[in-house]
Amino acid sequence: MGKLSEHTRGERRGDPSRVLVIGDQSLLLDALRIGLESENLEVATVGTNHESWEPVLQAFDPYLVVFEASGQAGEQSLAVISRLKVTERVVLGIARDAVSVAAARMVDAGADCTQGLDDGFESLLASIRRCLSGNVVMPLDQRYVLESLLRQHRKAEASRWLRFRELSPRERDIFASVYEGLSAEQIAEEACVSVSTVRTHVRSILSKLNVHSQLSAVAMARSNGWFAEAS
């Protein structure tokens, strides 16, 4: 993650009395709307589908966008933050946990700061107030913690995929068929190769994965989510 520079309200677009809340947890969005409107702020809430929030963003013209991704910040959520980043609004990301890979990935995608639901609703409102006042810089100690967490996560992910990536494309295809429960004969017929060729590939797969049986290989693939994520 790059160094976060300080921003003043004048360097950002939007009406400082307006907050757009994007998310799919209706109860949380309603609570935020009620809490912020009680402080004489204008609030709009909308779902995470870009066809829903992008027209509202343009028409409502908020200074602050609060993006709720309290589940794990998947690629779709990170894409939303990246799109918001180029609109020159202040972006506050909400994660389920303040210190989490999800929060770290949101900052890495461009969120100015993040807030965890585990810190409580009042803390979330306080963070929103700070952003509206122009204080959108994430504390360095919090940022360093998230950067370290993201580095560790990426290192673990690289290690998790290392053995799988050592397989050749043909071996991955055959392994996928083994994973689905096909026999050597069925794989051979499907791939238009001999059964002995399939068995040779299977032996190579087991060797590269450092396991002694197809059952162990399948268990390793399942525990690491190789085929679920690769697809």
Q: How many residues in the chain?
A: 231
Tell me the β-bridge partners of 94.
Answer: 68, 115
Angle of helix 184-191 versus helix 169-179 axis, rounded to 10: 130
Half-sphere exposure at residue 90, Cβ-oriented, CA atoms within 13 angstroms: 32
Domains of the chain: 9-152 (3.40.50.2300), 166-230 (1.10.10.10)
Q: What is the model's pLDDT at position 76?
A: 80
Residue 104 and residue 147 in contact, taking contact as beta carbons nearer than 8 Å: yes
- What are the average pLDDT values for consecutive 10-residue runs of the chain, which has 231 residues? 41 92 92 94 90 91 91 74 92 93 93 93 94 86 94 90 92 94 94 94 94 93 83 53
pTM for this model (two decimals):
0.72
Q: What is the model's pLDDT at position 9?
A: 41
Q: What is the model's pLDDT at position 229?
A: 65
Q: With CA atoms as reference, report the closest residue to 16 among 81, 69, 60.
A: 60
